[in-house]
A and B are shown apart, each in its own frame.
Chain A
Amino acid sequence: MDALRLYGRYTAASIRGQMRYPASFLMTSFGAFLATAADAVGLWVLFAHFHHIHGWGFGEIAVFYGTVGTAFALTDAATRGFDVFGDFFVRTGAFDRLLLRPRTTVLQLLGHELRLSRIGRLAQAVLMLLIGLSLVHLQWSPRAAILLLAAVAGGMALFAGLLILQATLAFWTVESLEIANILTYGGVQAAEYPLDVYAAWFRNFLIFVVPIGCIAYFPVVGALGRHDPLGAPDWVLFASPAAGFAFLGVALWVWGFGVRHYASTGS
């Protein structure tokens, strides 16, 4: 409870700080909106020409795209501390200070900044999700709502796990490695399309190694009321978002291992 209250105070301070520069906030949010909107226009161009991909239409793809985009935008806003961990905390030695405080490092890094400008990316993803849902004439049911919420929650956990793993690497490399973007941004890109589009090796990678397919594909197929072309039984559609939380659990364990092996850069 105490941790939650403290996180609330961190967040409030971060928001107040960013709101000191309203023009900058508006501009960066609009920029984030435009950047993802360009991708969405690309998607529309492809569907205007080809009409469908493996039997999936634009509406369905927009639901996949919107779900994974929403999850990533929310996590990306909250995990700024992990994203800049190598350059901001390890190289400068600022992480020593975090270790001295009587609170967990994860809480303090989550509290580092809540990046408001990600609202541009979030708005674009939610807009795509709404467009998609209206195009496929989704029959709203508790089942569909639960599956979509589970997909977003599992996705947030998975992306948080990826960003924590990226930060953990910095204990050894002493700088933020962009290579993890392959899995975050690249994962979002891959999850915009249903898994049956991909070759088997890539599909298995997205289910069993970095389980982005488990959070963005199976539950969404269930919410759309479609029969899974890959043949997954109904319980898998419900259970698969848990893979995101399992991934986060593993990432937190690895993080703890990294913290124990942290040797300060000194000053």
Chain B
Amino acid sequence: MDPFRPYLAAFAARFQLTLQYRTAAIAGFGTQCWWGVIKIMVLAAFFAGSPGRQPISLEHVVTYTWLGQAFLIFLPWNGDPDVAEMVRSGAVAYDRLRPIDTHGWWYARALAWTTARVAPRAALMFAFAALVLPLVGLGRWSLRPPADLPAAALFALSIAGVALLSASIVVLINVIIVATLDDRGANLLVAPFSNLLSGSIVPLALFPDWLRPALRLQPFAGLVDTPFRIYFGDMAGWQALGGIGLQLGWAVLLAGLGRWWVGRVMDRLQVQGG
């Protein structure tokens, strides 16, 4: 039997189920449009006051902001809500009984959970920011196409890297939830760091020079900064491949850490309730 079959089945089932939440996707899209508009007006006002050369151009910042809104859900804010619920109800013990690898099982489900929520929102956001805005004469404030064909291909590769990295972090949060038997702590503490360190609140290019090299090496940068710079050609060729390598390196390293930790936590798991 194909050893990957249970994981693929878990992925497919969760993906299809998550895709059903259409109202949530449309509400999320509306919120992200509003947020994008505010962010772009503020950034444009900052740029208007500093005519000199900037580490990132206004045109790229606008594209960066729309991409950020399109792929916002990739940011690991929370652990998997299903795992948190299993911890509350004690059903997490059943995962000990399945004849499969717990980490792989959770990883497949987390990957499906994030990608199925991102896909409709990203499609709507591209339609709005890349097609509708130029058509109504707001081309200056629209999401521009990728720098060139290789940039588009590398960006697609890099978005796959984002999905893998994001799922690695979500599973790590799951493990913390199981270890602390409470989902509130981990959920509250990770989100501010992933928002700030990924470059989602402010592009990493605008951080102070002395901080930037370190910021671009840490894992959260691979969620926003790396793929978006590849998109508009700020990272190209070998540099882009290096960035994707770093993304995948962190994804593998954090997945490995999660895997080791799941084993330890599950060995001494105490189930609540009865």
Contacts and interface: CB of A to CB of B under 8 A. Distances in A.
Interface of A: 24, 27-28, 30-32, 34-35, 37-39, 41-42, 45-46, 48-55, 177-179, 181-182, 186, 189-190, 193, 197-199, 202
B184 A31 contact: yes
B49 A54 contact: yes
Given A31-B188, A190-B38, A199-B41, A177 B49 contact: no
A46 B49 contact: no
Instruction: Please report whether the interface of chain B is mostly helix, strand, loop or mixed according to DSSP.
Output: helix
Given A28-B188, A39-B201, A53-B42, 8 more contacts: A27-B185, A31-B187, A51-B50, A54-B49, A186-B34, A186-B38, A197-B42, A202-B37
A54 B45 contact: yes
Interface in B17-56: 27, 30-31, 34-35, 37-38, 41-42, 45-50
Contact of B35 (A27, A39, A186): A186
B207 interface: yes
A28 B185 CA distance: 7
The 3 closest A-B pairs by CB, nearest first: A31-B188, A42-B201, A38-B192
B236 interface: no
Interface string B112-140: 00000000000000000000000000000
24 contacts: A24-B184, A27-B188, A31-B188, A34-B192, A35-B188, A35-B191, A37-B192, A38-B201, A42-B196, A45-B202, A45-B207, A48-B208, A49-B207, A53-B45, A53-B49, A55-B49, A178-B27, A178-B31, A181-B31, A186-B34, A193-B45, A197-B45, A202-B37, A202-B38
Nearest to A193: B42
Most buried by A among B31, B188, B196: B188
Contacts of A49: 206-208
Nearest to B55: A49
Contacts of B185: 27, 31
A202 B188 CA distance: 32
Interface residues of B, number: 31
Interface in B211-242: none
A41 B196 contact: yes
Nearest to A49: B206
Interface of B: 27, 30-31, 34-35, 37-38, 41-42, 45-50, 182, 184-185, 187-189, 191-193, 195-196, 201-202, 206-208
Contacts of B201: 38-39, 41-42
B193 A38 contact: yes
B202 A46 contact: yes
B206 A45 contact: yes
Contacts of A198: 41, 45
B208 A38 contact: no
A224 to B, nearest CB: 18
B188 to A, nearest CB: 3
B30 A182 contact: yes
B30 to A, nearest CB: 6
A10 B107 CA distance: 45
Contacts of A53: 42, 45-46, 49
A181 B35 CA distance: 11
Contacts of A31: 184-185, 187-189
Contacts of B192: 34-35, 37-38
Contacts of A35: 188, 191-192
Contacts of A189: 35, 38
Most buried by B among A24, A179, A202: A179
A206 to B, nearest CB: 10
A38 B31 contact: no
A181 B208 CA distance: 32
Contacts of B31: 178-179, 181-182, 186
A46 B46 contact: yes
B206 to A, nearest CB: 5
Contacts of B196: 38, 41-42
Contacts of B182: 24
A198 B40 CA distance: 10
A23 to B, nearest CB: 9
